[in-house]
């Protein structure tokens, strides 16, 4: 029998009405001949009683020195609560169901508290449950390591749980239900004219996610790509629409040429960035290595890195900028900071075979008087660092320029 894994995000399980919609989507898939395994996130968003952030602050308020082990234990509870409630809702509606923790669902993690990776998945209990005709409801975002300790998978981790289970169960597809209608041409919260993308490649979604579009976790997309599992992103209230994420081949089926392909598929953005510009003189070239080494040792991620003989430029998240300043000061280097920066990234598999994409980006931003502070690129992405105040206008003008 064909299997589908359905993952429901926090808002999709937050109220009794929303959970009714979950039941409807599960029933519908069963009517269409699927065995259904459900993965859930913690209910609601920050501030809601059982959200991950609320549970975390519950302990941190009084005990800010709590160990990472205990923090992971409490953070894993939100999904367990959610799984129990969703399973009970299904039972009430006549669908036999059982709730399972990540550990019971066989997700084995690497022991890295707060940011664990899944190293193996042996979903025996999930298979048993499916074989009995039940709907197993699995707590996302968690697993246990080889010592039996609970680990959480980091923000967006339930997406990864769903795709890994999909691969382990040899599911036909994984459906990610969220609070937007699919993967859109830009974040719909920022740009209301953003449109749903009907079909997109794994590579593009991964890149969008890395560049700040949190609609799906990049690790989940990587797992889907490696296992060639189709992923659908949609809204539980509007399941007739949505986005299909697949390999490039299905997009280009029957096509021999790249002409007519879209250069840009979507735009992602990230905020709260600080740009560092460090001056270098002939007398201190040895500090080049030292600076990057020290930043690495401080566990700070740097981005948009440009190295020239006389200047080194990069960005960091605002929360890390103080630590980086300390490092640079200790090395006695002269530097300049540009605070309140944002990064806009245009992403598209078509762009590497279509000339002139950068020219169109620059023209659009210039005409709108948006200053480009720095740029970076990969084969399917061009990123521009700009001031946060210009972000909305930049996304809007680029969205128009590439006819998204």
Q: Give the integer Cα–Cα distance in Å for 86 and 82.
A: 6
189 binds, among ligand ADP, Mg ion, none (CB under 5 to 8 A by kind): ligand ADP
- State which residue, 13 or 291, has the beta carbon closest to Mg ion: 13
Instruction: Report helix, strand or coil for 237.
Output: coil
As measured in angstroms, the least distance from the Cβ of 199 to ligand ADP is 14
| x/- track of binding to Mg ion for residues 113-142 (CB under 5 A) | ------------------------------
- State which residue, 136 or 156, has the beta carbon closest to Mg ion: 156
- Give 288's strand partners: none
183 binds, among ligand ADP, Mg ion, none (CB under 5 to 8 A by kind): ligand ADP
- State which residue, 162 or 251, has the beta carbon closest to Mg ion: 162
298 binds, among ligand ADP, Mg ion, none (CB under 5 to 8 A by kind): none
44 binds, among Mg ion, ligand ADP, none (CB under 5 to 8 A by kind): none
Supply 367's token pair. Answer: 């005409």
Q: Give the integer Cα–Cα distance in Å for 73 and 58.
A: 13
Strands across the sheet with 381-387, in order? 303-307, 311-317, 266-279, 335-347, 381-387, 374-378
Q: Give the integer Cα–Cα distance in Å for 127 and 70.
A: 30
**Number of residue whose CB is nearest Mg ion:** 156
- State which residue, 39 or 168, has the beta carbon closest to ligand ADP: 39
347 binds, among ligand ADP, Mg ion, none (CB under 5 to 8 A by kind): none
| x/- track of binding to Mg ion for residues 143-182 (CB under 5 A) | -------------x--------------------------
Looking at residues 321 to 340 of the shown chain, list those that interact with Mg ion (rule: CB under 5 A): none
**Number of residue whose CB is nearest ligand ADP:** 9
Looking at residues 68 to 87 of the shown chain, list those that interact with Mg ion (rule: CB under 5 A): none
The residues near 305 (Cβ < 8 Å, ≥ 6 apart) are 312, 313, 314, 376
As measured in angstroms, the least distance from the Cβ of 9 to Mg ion is 5
Q: Give the integer Cα–Cα distance in Å for 233 and 242.
A: 6
As measured in angstroms, the least distance from the Cβ of 245 to ligand ADP is 12
Residue numbers at the binding site for ligand ADP (CB under 6 A): 9-11, 41, 156, 178-180, 183-184, 186-189, 208, 213-215, 266
266 binds, among ligand ADP, Mg ion, none (CB under 5 to 8 A by kind): ligand ADP
As measured in angstroms, the least distance from the Cβ of 12 to ligand ADP is 6
Q: Which residue has the tokens 């995000």?
A: 9
As measured in angstroms, the least distance from the Cβ of 266 to ligand ADP is 5
As measured in angstroms, the least distance from the Cβ of 7 to Mg ion is 9
180 binds, among Mg ion, ligand ADP, none (CB under 5 to 8 A by kind): ligand ADP
- State which residue, 164 or 278, has the beta carbon closest to ligand ADP: 164
Q: Give the integer Cα–Cα distance in Å for 329 and 259.
A: 51
Query: If we measure between CA atoms, which residue out of 42, 24, 23, 143 comes closest to residue 83?
Result: 42
- Pair 350, 261: CB distance under 8 Å: yes
Exposure b/e, 302-320, CB count within 10 A at least 16 = b: bbbeeeeeeebbbbbbeeb
Supply 99's token pair. Answer: 């709730």
- Pair 101, 122: CB distance under 8 Å: no
As measured in angstroms, the least distance from the Cβ of 194 to ligand ADP is 7
The residues near 363 (Cβ < 8 Å, ≥ 6 apart) are 401
79 binds, among Mg ion, ligand ADP, none (CB under 5 to 8 A by kind): none
As measured in angstroms, the least distance from the Cβ of 14 to ligand ADP is 9
Q: CA-CA distances (angstroms) from residue 384 to 186, 309, 332, 391, 398?
A: 15, 22, 29, 10, 11
As measured in angstroms, the least distance from the Cβ of 78 to ligand ADP is 12
The per-residue DSSP string of 150-192 comes to: EEE--TTHHHHHHHHHHHHTT-SEEEEE-SSSS-BSS-TTT-T
232 binds, among Mg ion, ligand ADP, none (CB under 5 to 8 A by kind): none
Q: How many residues bind Mg ion (CB under 5 A)?
A: 1
As measured in angstroms, the least distance from the Cβ of 330 to ligand ADP is 38
**Binding residues for Mg ion, per CB under 5 A?**
156
């Amino acid at each position: 029998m064909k299997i589908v894994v359905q993952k429901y995000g926090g808002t999709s399980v937050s109220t009794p009405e929303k959970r009714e919609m979950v039941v409807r989507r599960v029933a519908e898939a069963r009517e269409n001949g699927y065995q259904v395994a459900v993965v859930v996130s913690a209910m609601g968003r920050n501030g809601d009683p059982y959200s991950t952030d609320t549970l975390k602050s519950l302990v941190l308020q009084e005990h800010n020195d709590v160990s990472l082990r205990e923090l992971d234990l409490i953070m894993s509870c939100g999904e367990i609560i959610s799984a129990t409630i969703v399973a009970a809702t299904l039972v009430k509606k006549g669908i036999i169901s059982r709730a399972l923790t990540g550990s019971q669902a066989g997700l084995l993690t690497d022991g890295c508290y707060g940011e664990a990776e899944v190293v193996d998945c042996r979903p025996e209990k999930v298979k048993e449950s499916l074989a009995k005709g039940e709907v197993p409801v699995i707590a996302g975002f968690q697993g246990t390591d080889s010592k039996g300790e609970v680990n959480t998978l980091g923000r967006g981790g339930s997406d990864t749980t769903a795709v890994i289970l999909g691969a382990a169960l040899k599911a036909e597809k994984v459906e990610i239900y969220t609070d937007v209608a699919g993967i859109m041409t830009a974040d719909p919260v920022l740009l209301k004219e953003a449109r749903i993308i009907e079909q997109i490649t794994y590579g593009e979604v991964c890149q969008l996610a890395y560049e700040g579009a949190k609609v799906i976790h990049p690790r989940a997309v990587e797992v889907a790509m490696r296992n060639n599992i189709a992923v659908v992103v949609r809204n539980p209230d509007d399941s007739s629409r949505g986005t299909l994420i697949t390999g490039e081949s299905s997009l280009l089926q029957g096509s021999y040429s790249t002409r007519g392909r879209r250069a840009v598929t979507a735009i992602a953005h990230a905020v709260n960035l600080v740009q560092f510009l460090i001056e270098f003189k002939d007398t201190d070239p040895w500090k080049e290595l030292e600076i990057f080494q020290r930043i690495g040792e401080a566990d700070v991620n740097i981005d948009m890195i440009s190295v020239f003989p006389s200047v080194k430029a990069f960005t960091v998240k605002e929360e890390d900028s103080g630590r980086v300043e300390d490092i640079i000061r200790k090395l006695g280097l002269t530097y300049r900071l540009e605070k309140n920066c944002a990064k806009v990234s245009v992403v598209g598999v078509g762009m590497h075979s279509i000339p002139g994409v950068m020219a169109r980006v620059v023209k659009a931003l210039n005409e709108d008087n948006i200053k480009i502070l720095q740029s970076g690129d990969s084969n399917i992405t061009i990123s521009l660092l700009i001031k946060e105040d210009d972000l909305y206008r930049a996304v809007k003008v680029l969205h128009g320029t590439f006819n998204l």
